[in-house]
Amino acid sequence: MIKVSAAIASSEYSELSSEEQVHILQVQQIILEAMALGGEAHGVISRLCQLEEQLLPNSVGTVMLLDKNRQALNVYAAPSIPADSASRLNGLRPGPHAGSCGNAVYSCQPQFVQNTFTDERWRDLRHLAHDFNLCSCWSMPVFSAQGEVVGSFALSSFEHRQPAPFHRKLLEIGAALVGIALERKQSEASLKLFEQVFKGSEEGILITDALTDILYVNQALCRLMGFAEEDVIGRQPRIFSSGRHAPGFYEDMWRQLASAGHWRGEIWNRRRNGEIFPEWLNITAVRNDDGVISHYIGIFSDLSERKHAEQRISFLSTHDALTGLPNRQQFRERFAALLRQAAATGADAALVTLDIDHFKLLNDSLGHAAGDSLLVEVAKRITACAEVDIACRQGGDEFLLGMMLEDGQALESRLQKLQELVAMPILLDGRPLSLSCSLGVARCPRDGDHVDALTPRAGKARDAAKAMGRNVWCFYEPHMDGNSLEHLSLSHELREAIGAGQLVLHYQPQVDLASGRLIGAEALVRWRHPSRGMMSPAAFIPLAEQTGAIVPLGEWVLAEACRQAAAWQAAGLPPLMVAVNLSAVQLRRGNIEDTIARALADSGLESRWLEIELTESALLHDMERMPALIARLKALGLRLSIDDFGTGYSSLAYLKQFRVDSLKIDQSFVRDMASDSDAAAIVTAIVQMGHTLNLFTIAEGVEDQAVLDSLRATGCDAVQGYHYSRPLPAGEFAVLLAAWPVRD
C-alpha cells in the first residue's frame, strides 16, 4: 500500500470546512476517474499539479523523482513551468540544504518553507529562489507501494505563506495520488491497486461484476448508505434505489454505459434508514483485454450539503439575509401584483415606509448584535401583522410595506395597529425595551401608480412624520415636493454643463486580490458646478435619469473615458481596462451600440480595454430585447459586467442568458462582511456562484484590511475601494499608473 507517514497524515478532514473537503474530494475524484479510464501517468500527474495550482492561486506544482541510482532528483512533471527553467532543477541531490524537495526526500518528512530567501533548508538553492521569485515552497515525499521514497510533490508560491490545514491535506492527497499513479504505471493489476486507494477515500465506491452483482464496497460507502459491508456484497445496487426515478432514467443510464463506457449525473438514492438524499454518481465500465466489460466502478458523492448551499444561495438572492423578508426586487414584483389585484377589484393600495425611531442611538448604545436582534424582532412582528399584505427591508432600519385598501379609515386603523405591534416591549438580554416607529404613506392611484413613484413620496411623508416628533404617521401631500423649482433649475444647469466643460472624470483603481497588481480603473463622473462646487454623481445622476439628460451625459462619459485610456497608452503607460457605467435609460433610449463604437473609433482605443458595467435592474427591464442587445455589445469585443450585484434579483436564470464577464459585488455587503456573518455569507455565495459560472468577481467599497482579509478568504478575484485609493483625477491617476505594477 502507499505509505503515508504520521507527520503527513496530521491534517484530518475534521479540521477542514465542508467547502475545502469538497475541493479535495473533487481533485481526488477527477484523478481517480482519469486513472480508471486509462489515463497515461505523466498526463494524470500533470493534471493533478494543475488542479492543485487552481486551489492555491499564485503557485506552481512540481513532481520530482529519484533517478535509477537514487542519487539525484529530476523534474518529472511541472506543467506551469517552462521546460528550460524546469531543467535547471534536474540533478538535485537530496540533503539538508537542498530546498524543500531535497529535504523532503532526504528526511522522508514534509517540508513547509515559508521564506526560501532566508530558510537554511534552501541554502544550496538560494540562487534559484531569487531567479524564479519562489518565495515559499511546501513539499511532500512520495512513497512507493513498498514504502520507499521515490520523489517529492511540491507547491511553490510566488508569495511568502504558511500552509493551512487545507493546504496540508491538499499536499498529502496530491503526494498519495502521485504515488498511486506511478505505481499504476508499473502494475498490471490496476483493480487491486485501486482497492488500496478506495479504502481511504472519503467518497463511497463500489465495484460490481459484469452482471452488476456487488463485489466490493469501501467503508465510505457503508457510512454514506448506512449498510454494513456484508449487507451489500453479492446484491445489486438497486437496493439503494429511491423510487424517485422513472424506468426510462435507468434505461438511458445503461444505454450510455454500454455505448460510451461511463455515465455521470445526479441521482436520488435511499439510505438504509429510509432517508432519500441526492448524490453525484460516476459509473465507469472496465473492459478486459478482449474488450468485454468485466466490472463496473461506481463513485458516490453526497450532494446534501451542496443542495442546502444552493437553496441558501437561492434564498439569499431573493431575501434579506438578516430578517428573512423579501428583498427590494421581490417586493417590487409582489407590490406590482398587489396593484394589479387592487385594480381588478376596484380597491386602492398604499405603500408605507417604516423607520424605527432613534435606531442609530440604540444601535450605537447596545451594539450592532443587539441592533440586529431588534431588526429581526420587528420584521417578525411586521410579518405577523394581518394589516400588512407584503413587506421588505429596504435597508438599515427602514422597511417597505404594501397594503390593500378598502377606505381611508381602515388604513388609519391598520397603521395604528402596526405601531402598537412595534411598540410592544422586546426582551433584550432579559431586559424589556420599548420601541416606536415613524410611518410615511403614499396611496395608489392618488400619489402614483407604481412602486418607483410611490416609494420616494412615502419617504417624504415619513421624513415629515419624523419632523413632527416621531411615533406618528403622515400621508404624502404634494406640498412636500418643496424643492420642485430647485429640481427644475438644476436639471437645466445639468444640460448646459455637458457642453460647458463642467463635467470631469475621476478614476478609481481596481486591484487583483492575489497579486496586488493593478487590473483596471472605474471611470466616475463629477460635476464641477460653478456655484455649488464639486458634486458627486449621487447628487445629479438620478436627476439625469429622470429628465433624460443621462443619454448625452453618458455619451460624454464614454467618449472621455475611451479618450483618456488611449491617451495614457500613447504616453507610454501600461494598457489598462477602463470601466464605464451605463444606466437603464441609456439602454432604452440611446442607440448604445453606435455610441460605444463611435467612442472607440474616435479615441483609437481597442475594444478589449473597455468594460461596460450594467445594473441588474437594467438587464431585467426588457428581458425580450436585452439578450440580443447584450450579444451585439459583446460582438464589439468589449467586456461586460453586472454592477451592484446582490441588490436586485440575482437570478441564476438571467445570468445564464446574458454572456457577461464579471460580477461586481455591491459595497453594502462588502463593507460589513468582517463584522456581519450574514453579509460575509452573501459575499461568499456570490463569489462561489460567479466562479461556478466562470465569471470574474470584483468587490467594491473595500475600506480596511479586515474586509480585505475576509474577501481573500472567499476567493474573490479583485477589489476596489478607499483602502487602496479614492477616485483620482486623470493626472493623479497617471502618476499612480506609472508607479503601480499592472497585471499582464
Q: 286-343, pLDDT tens digit by residue?
A: 888 788 888 998 888 887 777 676 667 766 767 787 888 888 888 888 898 888 888 8
* CATH for the stretch 8-185: 3.30.450.40
Q: What is the DSSP letter of 92?
A: B
Report the chain (744 residues): mean pLDDT per 10 consecutive residues. Answer: 39 71 83 80 90 90 93 94 90 94 95 95 93 93 90 94 89 89 66 60 84 87 87 89 85 87 88 86 87 88 73 70 83 88 84 88 80 88 83 87 72 84 83 85 86 89 79 77 61 82 94 94 92 79 74 92 96 95 75 90 95 78 73 90 69 67 87 82 90 91 90 94 92 94 84
Q: What is the largest CA-CA distance in the chain?
A: 97
- Give the torsion through C-alpha atoms of 538, 666, 675, 305, to 10 deg: 160
| 294 touches 210 (CB < 8 A) | yes
d(CA 634, CA 636): 5
Residue spans per domain, the chain: 8-185, 203-302, 321-482, 508-525+549-739
pLDDT at 519: 95
Residue type, 304: S
d(CA 94, CA 83): 22
d(CA 261, CA 294): 12
Q: Within 13 Å, how many C-alpha atoms sit on residue 225's CB side?
A: 26
- For 203-302, the fitting CATH number among 3.40.50.300, 3.40.50.1000, 3.30.450.20, 3.40.630.30 is 3.30.450.20
| 649 touches 682 (CB < 8 A) | no
**C-alpha gyration radius of the chain:** 31
Quick check: do 8-185 and 203-302 share a fold?
yes
Cell numbers 423649482: residue:
485
pLDDT at 157: 93
Instruction: Give backbone dihedrals phi and psi of 208, rounded to 5 degrees, phi first.
Output: -120, 165
d(CA 695, CA 444): 41
d(CA 1, CA 145): 5
pLDDT at 1: 35
Question: Grid coordinates in use for 297?
Answer: 466502478
Q: Which H or E run includes 120?
A: none
Q: Which residues lie closer than 8 Å to 125 by C-beta, 6 or more apart?
A: 92, 97, 98, 99, 102, 116
Task: List the one residue out of 665, 662, 606 whose CA is nearest residue 638.
Answer: 606
d(CA 501, CA 511): 30
Question: Grid coordinates in use for 535?
Answer: 458634486
Q: Which residues lie closer than 8 Å to 555 by C-beta, 6 or more apart?
A: 590, 595, 599
* CATH for the stretch 321-482: 3.30.70.270
d(CA 344, CA 350): 16
Task: List the one residue out of 361, 385, 375, 373 whose CA is nearest residue 431.
Answer: 373
- Tell whether pTM > 0.75: no
| 143 touches 172 (CB < 8 A) | no
CA 478 remoteness from chain centre: 44
Task: List the one residue out of 246, 155, 642 whose CA is nearest residue 633.
Answer: 642
Q: What is the DSSP letter of 326?
A: B
Task: Tell me the CA distances in angstroms from 657 to 427, 587, 651, one per residue in order.
Answer: 48, 17, 10
Q: What angle do CA 189, 193, 194 make, to 5 degrees?
A: 115
Q: What angle do CA 460, 462, 468 make, to 5 degrees?
A: 105
pLDDT at 7: 36
pLDDT at 189: 45
Q: Which residues lie closer than 8 Å to 248 by C-beta, 6 or more apart?
A: none
d(CA 332, CA 402): 10
Task: Tell me the CA distances in angstroms from 200 to 45, 105, 139, 615, 695, one per residue in order.
Answer: 19, 24, 21, 48, 35
User: What is the secondary structure of 16-30 as a DSSP string?
Assistant: S-HHHHHHHHHHHHH
- For 508-525+549-739, the fitting CATH number among 3.30.70.20, 3.20.20.450, 3.90.650.10, 1.10.3720.10 is 3.20.20.450
Q: What angle do CA 555, 558, 563 make, to 5 degrees?
A: 125
d(CA 38, CA 165): 31
pLDDT at 46: 92
